[in-house]
A = this chain, B = another copy of it.
Amino acid sequence: MRITSKSNYALKLLVDIAEHRESGFVPLADIAERQSISKKYLEQIVPMLIKGGLLRANRGNRGGYMLDVSPDKCSIGDILRATEGCVLSFTIDPDDVFQFVWKDVQRDVEKCVDRITLQDIIQNKNGCYDYCI
């Protein structure tokens, strides 16, 4: 299993927006600079987060992005589902004898990542691990 950089970028972006949510819509250029991520690459990630219901956009001058959920309702699982399609995938024949094993792993992992929210992360930037099993 592997976490891609895309998911980490999405996390950075969402936390950045969450932390600047009083100032209205946050432009991507600002995020890209603050987080030192290629703006062009972020532009590809952002539509996934919108489709996933996590972000809302406003175009034009003074536009940008805004959270579409409260930080305590946005989990790592939500981010992964948005950026990677699903939390845990496998290329295994649907009627393989051991499919049930990986399905179970999938379910368990999903529970893990759905337990950690943006809120937790913002509050525990120093790493309190309160949300862990």
Interface of A toward B, CB cutoff 8 Å: 1-5, 8, 11-12, 15, 76, 80, 84, 87-92, 96-98, 100-102, 104-105, 107-109, 111-113, 115-116, 121, 124-125, 127, 129, 131-133
Closest to A8 in B: B92
A67 CB to closest chain B CB, in angstroms?
17
Return 10 A-B CB contacts under 8 Å, by A number. A1-B84, A5-B91, A8-B90, A8-B102, A11-B98, A76-B105, A100-B125, A100-B127, A101-B121, A104-B127
Sorted nearest first, the 9 A-B pairs with minimum C-beta distance are A3-B90, A1-B1, A100-B127, A108-B112, A1-B88, A2-B89, A8-B92, A108-B133, A109-B109
